[in-house]
Amino acid sequence: MFVEAFHARHVNNGWNTLLPPSPFPILRRANSLFSVITTEAVPSTTASIEYIEESKLHIVTLPPFVRTDDQNDGGYPSPLHQIHIRPLLTDEETSELLQLARNHATENQSWDRQDSSRHASYPTVDFAIEESRLHNSLCVLTLRCQSEILQYLGPSGIRFEERVFCALSDAYGVDVEDMSFLDLFCASYEGKESDGKSKSNDSDEDRNTMDRLAFHRDGSLLSFTVLLSPLNEFEGGGTIFDAFLDVVVPYDDAGSVLLSSGVIQPPQAGYVTLHSGKLLHGGHVVSKGQRIVLVGFVDVHERNMRPGALHNATKEWGRNDVRAFWNERRLSLVKQQQRRQQQEDIVQPLWKLKNSRYLPKDTKEGHITNEGRSCIGQKIAIPLNIVQNFESRADMEKMRRRRLITEDKLLRGILLPRHERGEKSTDEDGGEWMEVDFDNMNGLMLGWNTEKVE
């Protein structure tokens, strides 16, 4: 998108409005407003930043990409349009958790290779927190023993789940009881260079680390990232969002969490970044040092979500993927045919029809004719006007704009208002667990022979 104008406004006094009581009482105060005016289908986009001094909370609101005259997509901004950056862990808790993570990663070489077993489409250098229950075979730990990390995060430690779920509930209006972890892992991003020189040690040659993560969407509605590494231990990094790529920050503000490259960077270690996992986002490149983060995907009970909203969005994103795949295939064929025929003026490939034998054959008086679809040859050039239509739909900027519009509609409509949410189910587990011995198992396991074997 072409940026025509930019407008920034500072509010010194802001406004003082106390929110309803919550686990994290806050005092709202606007800090700055970023505006970008575009020439495309969206008349204007505005990203706003609020800073709440009492709780040190930063709220960054995504720009709208749906026309304001469209009345069928809910209100803007919805809670999911907002990204919250706030303190979660104290300095002491952050340092302790970072050291525990480094100890586990060193013992198990977790940060020496990319793991595609859990994140198949986007492999990451990480270890799952649940996997930290077991150390290597040299450790004298049993299956029932929790690791130091789990103990530290658990109820007897810093009560991490309770604290992060309360923060998510406060930000997005979802009850804590309706949240559950889909995944919780500790990831590492390392710069390709150290002190200006490429890593060339023998120990580094066998390591398969990563310095960034491509744009993707999470499998959960809500996600969070807790920064564990101090800012002086790495350069670059942060979470980059596609929706912020066109927002230009005209000045270098050391206190701003939104950078000009569309990156959200917490002001210090111990801060958590809360956002919808359905936002297209990625890990910004780390140019030097090591950035360690604790990442969580949080599942939300379906009673909170509008039926069909996610299905419609993924269907439209899938259409974009098909357009992109077709265009990549077309460009690949053009290059192949240019190379084979040594003609660089080829702009349209000749398509080979591989399924012509399956087309219905036109017959006349029992004889196959050369009329109709069956006469299409093994090589065919798609008419230029059709190719141009395909190319237009596969234009990268147009696909991105459609993707952002779909994302905006999803954020507006997927969360149901509280009065439309269904009742909470109290018996989803089919009853309660109880401990039994062999003598009183009769009747509990129908069809099983529960007689004692002498």
pLDDT in tens, the chain (454 residues): 323 222 333 333 332 222 233 333 333 333 444 333 333 444 345 678 899 999 999 999 999 998 765 544 458 899 999 999 999 999 999 999 999 999 988 888 888 877 666 666 677 888 888 755 443 333 333 233 347 898 899 999 999 999 999 999 999 999 999 999 999 999 999 998 754 445 545 455 567 789 999 999 999 999 999 999 999 999 999 999 999 998 877 555 556 899 888 999 999 999 999 999 999 999 999 999 999 999 999 999 999 999 999 999 999 999 988 888 888 888 888 888 888 777 767 766 776 656 656 666 655 655 555 555 545 555 666 677 777 787 788 888 899 999 999 999 999 999 999 999 988 765 555 445 555 554 554 544 444 444 444 4
Q: Which CATH architecture has domain 82-304?
A: Sandwich (2.60)
What is the pTM (predicted TM-score) of this model? 0.75
Q: Which residue spans of the chain are classified as CATH 2.60.120.620?
A: 82-304
Q: What is the DSSP letter of 132?
A: G
Question: What's the one-letter identity of residue 403?
Answer: R
Rounded-to-integer distance, Cα 369 and Cα 92, Å: 83
Rg from Cα positions in the chain? 28
The H or E element containing residue 315 is helix 309-341
Tokens of 175: 């009850």
- Write down the H helix ranges in 173-248: 202-205
The two three-digit tokens of residue 402, written as one number: 């459609």
Specify the pLDDT at position 46. 66
Contact between 174 and 165 (Cβ < 8 Å): no
What tokens appear for 196 in the block? 């200006």
Question: In the prediction, which pLDDT does 21 show?
Answer: 34
Three-state SS at 159: coil
pLDDT at res. 387? 74
Taking a C-beta distance cutoff of 8 angstroms, is the pair 274, 224 a contact?
yes
Whole-number pLDDT of residue 452: 45
Catalogue the long-range contacts made by 327-332 (C-beta closer than 8 Å, 24 or more residues apart).
327/390, 327/391, 327/394, 330/387, 330/390, 330/391
pLDDT in the model for residue 356: 58
Distance between CA atoms of 179 and 171, rounded to whole angstroms?
13
Query: Which tokens sit at 375?
Result: 């006469």
Q: What is the pLDDT of residue 447?
A: 43
**Continuous H helices in 81-189:** 91-108, 148-153, 160-172
The position carrying tokens 């950035």 is: 291
CA end-to-end span of the chain: 79
Angle between helical axes of 396-413 and 309-341 (0-180°, round to 10): 170
**Residue 175 CB neighbours (<10 A):** 15
CA-wise closest residue to 11 among 28, 33, 26? 33
